[in-house]
Amino acid sequence: MTVSAINTFRLRPGVPVTDFERFSAELDRPVCLRFDEVLGFELYLSDDGVVVEVMTVTSWPEWENVRDNAPELQPVVERFDELVEPGSVTTVFTRHCPLPQEI
């Protein structure tokens, strides 16, 4: 069953939103979307440094295994840690609830 993880977090003080936007477009999303486990990855930004990411995956445990073990993700994790305020990440796991006509 697919799951969407809605992650919210704040950028470190002094990090421009445009820096995270560039990181997401050039590194984070392209690398993550190469994995079969990742079905979608959207980014939403506010001007005050609040970031919302919606990542839809085939299975959260499978994604965690990839995230924690794939060497391709090391530069992504390192840059994320440079940009994001420690301890500010929250995650809500959701499932899509389509309208009856969408089923």
* CATH number of 34's domain: 3.30.70.100
Q: What is the pLDDT of residues 22-33, one digit of tens each?
A: 999 999 999 999
> Can you give the pLDDT at residue 48?
86
Q: CA end-to-end span of the chain, whole Å?
A: 15
Is residue 48 in some structural domain? yes
What are the distances in angstroms from CA 73 to CA 25, 38, 48, 49, 103?
A: 15, 13, 27, 23, 34
Q: Which residues contact 39 (CB under 8 A, 6 or more apart)?
A: 2, 56, 57, 58
> Can you give the pLDDT at residue 36?
97
Is residue 88 in some structural domain? yes
Please state, as a whole number, how many other Cβ atoms lie within 10 Å of the Cβ of residue 17. Answer: 15
Is residue 65 in some structural domain? yes
Q: How confident is the model at residue 72 (pLDDT cuts 50, 70, 90)?
A: very high
Is residue 86 in some structural domain? yes
> Can you give the pLDDT at residue 103?
75
Q: What's the number of domains the chain is made of? A: 1
Is residue 103 in some structural domain? no
CA distance 45 to 41: 14
Is residue 7 in some structural domain? yes
Is residue 101 in some structural domain? no
Is residue 50 in some structural domain? yes
Give the domain extent around 53. 3-95
Q: What is the pLDDT of residues 12-64, one digit of tens each?
A: 999 999 999 999 999 999 999 999 999 999 999 998 889 999 999 999 999 99
